Amino acid sequence: MTMKRKTELNLVVGVNGTGKTTFLEKEVLSKYKKALVLTPDNSEWKTLPVVRADELKFFNGIGKMIYTGPEILTTISRRFYGGALILDDALAYLNEQTPATMQYIYIRRRQFGIDIYLVAHGLRQIPPKAFSFASWLILFNTVENFSSRKKEIIPSLYDSIIESQQRIRNRVLNGEPYYKEYILIDSQIKSLYAKGKGEANR
């Protein structure tokens, strides 16, 4: 019996050239039958076919949409389901979204079976609330000071992020430019996984 899991909000953070796109291509897009990349830059994700808004409801496979305005994400939230949605360079357009769209990203995605990958260049650019709803932080090398977020997220998580950030910096300095770490934010995932494993073994 295949184990089932709830959908996830993954925060993928790292400066340019740290391997975020390669990671998303190899470890994310290749694992899904259905995935959509939303990018503000037409020159990115060149190998992916462009999906039109009217094709979205019956779309299957891997494709991309170019962000031209807030209505694009509204359309996606009404028509896309059962796959991965990669919001590439998300902070370039997230602040233009309505509360309803933010609610979709944080909560309603579960109802429609969507894993979201929110991609950003720096930790400080992630909206504070995103940490409350996130499942994972996949952290690549970052160069900013994250201390302004200290009061906005729980201390143990903050400490864990800072430790990882420092470890990643050291590994990058020691010749591993694409080193990254996976930080579990939603601890329920671990207990559900353990429970699922236990049931599967019975």
Partner 1 sequence: MKKTTVMENKASEKVVDDASLWFDSRQMEIQDYEIPEDDDFLNISDLENEDLEKEEFEPEKPITKKDILQNLNRIELREPTARLIISLMDVVFPLLFFAFFKVDKNLCRLDKEEKQILLDAWCQYLATKEVEMSPGMVLLSSMLTIYTAKLGMAKLLTKKDNDDDEA
Amino acid, res. 30: S
State yes or no: residue 126 binds partner 1 (CB under 8 A).
Answer: yes
State yes or no: residue 4 binds partner 1 (CB under 8 A).
Answer: yes
State yes or no: residue 21 binds partner 1 (CB under 8 A).
Answer: no
State yes or no: residue 49 binds partner 1 (CB under 8 A).
Answer: no
Widest pairwise Cα distance in the chain: 51
State yes or no: residue 178 binds partner 1 (CB under 8 A).
Answer: no
**Taking Cα atoms as reference points, which of 97, 188, 15 lies closest to residue 87?**
97
Burial class (CB in 10 A: 0-12, 13-18, 19+), 84: buried
Contact region with partner 1 (CB under 8 A), list: 17-25, 44-52, 59-67, 80-88: 80-88
Q: Contacts with partner 1 in 99-118 (CB under 8 A)?
A: 99-104, 106-108, 110-115
Report yes or no: 25 and 140 within 8 Å, Cβ to Cβ. Answer: no
φ, ψ at 105 (rounded to 5°):
-65, -40
Q: How far is the CB of 70 from partner 1 (least distance, A)?
A: 11
State yes or no: residue 173 binds partner 1 (CB under 8 A).
Answer: no
Q: Rounded CA gap, 19 and 38, in Å?
A: 18
Work out which of 54, 82, 154, 159 binds partner 1, going by CB under 8 A.
Answer: 82
**Taking Cα atoms as reference points, which of 56, 3, 19 lies closest to residue 202?**
3
State yes or no: residue 5 binds partner 1 (CB under 8 A).
Answer: yes
The H-or-E segment that residue 181 falls in is strand 181-184
Give the interface with partner 1 as residue ranges (CB under 8 A).
2-8, 27-28, 31, 74, 77-82, 89, 91-92, 94-95, 97-104, 106-108, 110-115, 120-122, 124-129, 136, 138, 145, 147, 163-164, 167, 181-184, 189-190, 193
